[in-house]
Structure 1
Amino acid sequence: MAKKDFTQGNVLNHILVMSATSTVGLLAIFGVDLTDLIFLSQLGDHDILAAIGFAGVILFFTQSIGIGLSVAMLALVSKAIGQANEAKMKATASNIMLFSSIVAVAIALVTFPLLDQLLAWLGATGRAAELAYRYSAWLLPFFPVMVIATSANAIVRALGDAKRAMSMMLAGALVNLILDPIFIFYFEWGIEGAAMASAAARVTMACFALYAVLKVHPMLARINWQHFRAEAGMIARFALPTTLTNFATPIGMALLTYKLAEIGTTAVAGSAIISKITPVAFAVFYSLSGAVGPIIGQNVGAGQYPRVIDTLKTSVKFSCAYTAVLWLLMVVSLPYILMLFGAEGQVAEVVSAFCYFAIPLTCAMGALFVANAGFNNMGRPGFATAANFLRNSLGVIPFVWLGAEWFGAEGAIVGFSLGGFVFGVLAIFYCIRLAKSRLERQLLAEMKDAN
């Protein structure tokens, strides 16, 4: 398999090409949740929107674990592919698939009996809490199915079949789009119907993904239990840092949701709309870390730190340009967005504050993701974990609490983005500084060798 050379050519072109297919796949995943909310909002019930907001935080925690496991699959299988050892490649893929499935089942079994308590900790009460429980109770058992889908998808991406990896996610999104109106409106199952449609979408993704790794690219082998036990520790050590890094974001969302719940159900309902719009609107940013990672990694390996610095700076410029265009589109489209979700009163005020004031600050989210890729590929994964946890703790509590105190729910939403802006700027600044220090040491070493 030919390897793409990122040590030459236009950096911006590499970034755009690498981001494209990944963004489409992410849009399919995030679009499933957004579709649920769009259809549910037509019921005109703010308690349902708030329930999606509360349930979304809990499901986001489990999703972060799934992402960490899929990243481990992608990295370790890619390494095995590079060693050109087919038996090792299949054994590694099978072991990670089994490991991921065991972890996912354990997480679902532990989380399910705690749902009531977790929702109470988030500030959910009354009917919103009851609806959030029913939605989560339907989807949580399908968490292992989703992990199987994302793990198998990672195998396909590691093999370089990006088109097939993207198509299996699109298939799930299509199933959700078809079933949502049928289950919600025709059968009148409401929020539980939306959960059933999402569950069906996850099963569809898993079926397509398993077909790909069993038939199209036969990559799964019979488990050797001795080999599995020997490799399980390595898989855990690799997956844990990535999972911890991803875990920071739902912690920040939980803190924001808790504060909004103190203000009222309509504030959480507005936040639920924002939380589903944001991943779709900024899917490019979510894909950016994975897109620039190979570019930075190859140039670090080649010792081309000027291109590493150029990649970091170009990625930030791209993030700012994308945010500026998106801001304009969202402001112009705001009346239609409010109409689409049936948002009125405080719900509309919260969404409007996000579109007018929070989106411009979100450019730093792209900078943070790029910094994470830079830290990981320069051998400093701990810096990425620290940056994410600082952003979702010190970058949330004072900003959200003061924003809520001074300006209510709208202030909390803008404060959340302002905190992200501050820590995103600090992270990318330090990442560029790290690359420059590596370049300086490299130049000094070359001067010594020349003398």
Structure 2
Amino acid sequence: MPHIRAYMGVWYFGAAAMIVPRVLNSILRAHGNTATQGLMMGLAALVNVVLDWWLIFGVGPFPALGVSGAALATVLSWALMATVLLFQRELRGLIGLAGLTPAGLLDSWRELGRIAGPAALTSVFTPLAMGLLTRIVAGHGHDAVAAFGVGTRLEAIAQIAVLGLSMTLSPLVSQNAGAGQYARVGRAITGCFLFVLAWQLLVWGLLQGLAPWLVAAYAERQAVGEVLRAFLWLVPLGLGAQGVVILAVSSCNALHRPARAMRLSVVRLFVLSVPLAWLGGRLGGTTGIFAGMLLANLLMAMVAWWQVRVVLGRYR
């Protein structure tokens, strides 16, 4: 607890420095500039590493701050990124207080909140569902929890392409929908769905090839290795379907359908994933849990694809 307080006390104080760059990067992506925000993220990470070394351990005039230094390094690196981003050409003409009125500000907040509110609530659902899944896995022993922890981290790496695509698809959908190019929107979404399914299938094949090495590297006990091997065989097989759901949620938000996007997330997590994982655990142990997670993603992908078609059909 002392370490948590030491880190989060600094992090909360500098939370604005963490949020502003995310907003600015989103604006750049909406203007079609993905290179600058990617470069800034990379530079911020590099600065963060250097400041971590200086502030955690103390180098030269910098005191050794320990865990607090790690938080301060993160806040300072992101604050530097925000400062640099403010000088970007695409942003200079968009930020200004001239003509801003309280009524206009409230209207803007209300319009943004209509989409951001459900989207923010959806972001809370994922860690909550992950906590419930971890609790289900915990019922099968410490080895199962250890394997599940390793597997979910490998899963996050395997989904990098999907997450990157979800951030770039939203502005593309919004821009073309605003221009009335709904046929182009449909082609873009369908193309992304098909790409994600094919790409994640390749990733699954790669993971199967690397599975013996990954199990040997991360599982010291045989029991952990057996559970991890089952995870790598089943769960990544559904990541393409999960990617379809993620892209469908992003597309619905971009099409000003935040409630529908939130419903898709709720159904995937709490109507399918958690109940099917629980049922699978009762019937087949940890392998049954992972099979339930796979089945949930496959079923939800079909529902999400259908829902996107319904939304787009209303514009034709």
Same topology, TM > 0.5: yes
Contact 1:288/1:369, CA 8 A, preserved across alignment = no
| Corresponding position: 1:212 with 2:81 | no
Say if 2:119 is the partner of 1:242.
yes
Q: Are 1:155 and 2:41 an aligned pair?
A: no
Task: Give the match for residue 364 of structure 1.
Answer: 241
Does residue 261 in structure 1 map to residue 138 in structure 2?
Answer: yes
Q: Find the counterpart in structure 2 of residue 319 from structure 1.
A: 196
Residues in 2 aligned to 1:399 and 1:255: alpha-carbon distance in whole angstroms: 12
CA 1:214–1:432: 2 relative to 1, 3 Å: closer
Question: Displacement of 1:143 after TM fit?
Answer: 4.8
Q: Which residue of 2 aligns with 1:140?
A: 8
Q: Distance in 2 between the 1:207 and 1:314 partners?
A: 37
List aligned pairs for 1:163-242, cutoff 5 A.
163-174=35-46, 199=71, 202-213=74-85, 227=102, 230-231=105-106, 233-234=109-110, 236-242=113-119
Residue 282 of structure 1: how far off its partner (Å): 0.5
Q: Deviations over 1:65-119 (max 9, x none)?
A: xxxxxxxxxxxxxxxxxxxxxxxxxxxxxxxxxxxxxxxxxxxxxxxxxxxxxxx
Counterpart amino acid of 2:79? C
Letter of the structure 1 residue corresponding to residue 142 of structure 2: T
Question: How far is the alpha carbon of 1:415 from its aligned partner?
Answer: 1.9
TM-score (norm 1): 0.57
Q: 1:276 aligns with which of 153, 165, 171?
A: 153
Distance 2:187 2:301 in 1: 18
User: What TM-score results when the alignment is normalised by the length of structure 2?
Assistant: 0.78
Where relative contact order (Cα < 8 A, 6+ residues apart) is larger, the structure is 1
Quick one: distance in 1 between partners of 2:223 and 2:47?
Answer: 33
Gaps of 5+ in 1: 1-132, 185-192, 440-451
Q: How many residues align?
A: 298
- Whether the 8 Å CA contact 1:353–1:413 is kept in 2: the answer is yes
Q: Is the 8 A contact 1:153 1:165 kept in 2?
A: no
Q: 1:279 and 1:436, CA in 2 relative to 1: closer, same or farther beyond 3 A?
A: same
- Given candidates 323, 329, 335, the residue that maps to 2:212 is 335
| 1:120-154 Cα distance to aligned partner (Å, 9 max, x none) | xxxxxxxxxxxxx5665454332553552242242
Aligned residue among 213, 223, 241 for 1:346: 223
Distance between the aligned counterparts of 1:221 and 1:297, measured in 2?
23
- Confirm or deny: 8 A CA contact 1:331 1:356 kept in the other structure: yes
Q: CA RMSD in A?
A: 3.5
8 Å CA contact 1:168–1:209 kept in 2: the answer is yes
Q: 1:154 to 1:268 in 2, by over 3 A?
A: same
CA deviation map 1:4-56 (0-9, x unaligned)? xxxxxxxxxxxxxxxxxxxxxxxxxxxxxxxxxxxxxxxxxxxxxxxxxxxxx
Q: Describe the SS at the equivalent of 2:180.
A: coil
Counterpart contact for 2:24–2:82, Cα < 8 Å: no
Gap runs ≥5 in structure 2: 58-65
Q: CA deviation at 1:287?
A: 2.3
